């Protein structure tokens, strides 16, 4: 489960874009919550809140496309630390 502050970021993005919060397996990019610019802010927040480091090679939309993929990425990053 994503930290409350990360979910708040997504909820704010949904409100700003007048979009619905997508389900766990629906694209955050296609729903308009994230784009290439907001992805950087989103990842920075995740790094701070989850205590992980996202390497440049991992900064790809497919790692952050859905809530489920974000959770999986965070779990992998914590396990590798």
Which range marks the domain in which residue 52 is found?
A: 4-18+26-80
C-alpha 48/C-alpha 19 separation (Å) is 26
Question: Is residue 25 very low, low, confident or very high in pLDDT (cuts 50, 70, 90)?
Answer: very high
Q: How many angstroms separate the Cα of 80 from the Cα of each of 29, 35, 56, 73?
A: 27, 27, 16, 11
Domain containing residue 45: CATH number: 1.10.1200
Give residue 73's pLDDT band: very low, low, confident or very high (50, 70, 90): very high
**What confidence tier does 45 reach under pLDDT thresholds 50, 70, 90?**
very high
pLDDT at residue 61 in the model? 85
Domain count, the chain: 1
Per-residue pLDDT band for 81 (boundaries 50, 70, 90) equals confident
pTM of the model: 0.92
């Amino acid at each position: 489960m994503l930290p409350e502050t990360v979910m708040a970021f997504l909820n704010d993005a949904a409100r700003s874009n007048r979009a619905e919060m997508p389900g766990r397996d629906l694209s955050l990019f296609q729903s308009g919550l994230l784009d290439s610019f907001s992805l950087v802010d989103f990842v920075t927040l995740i790094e701070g809140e989850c205590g992980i480091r996202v390497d440049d090679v991992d900064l790809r939309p497919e790692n952050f496309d859905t809530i489920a993929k974000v959770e999986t990425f965070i779990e992998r990053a914590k396990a590798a630390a």
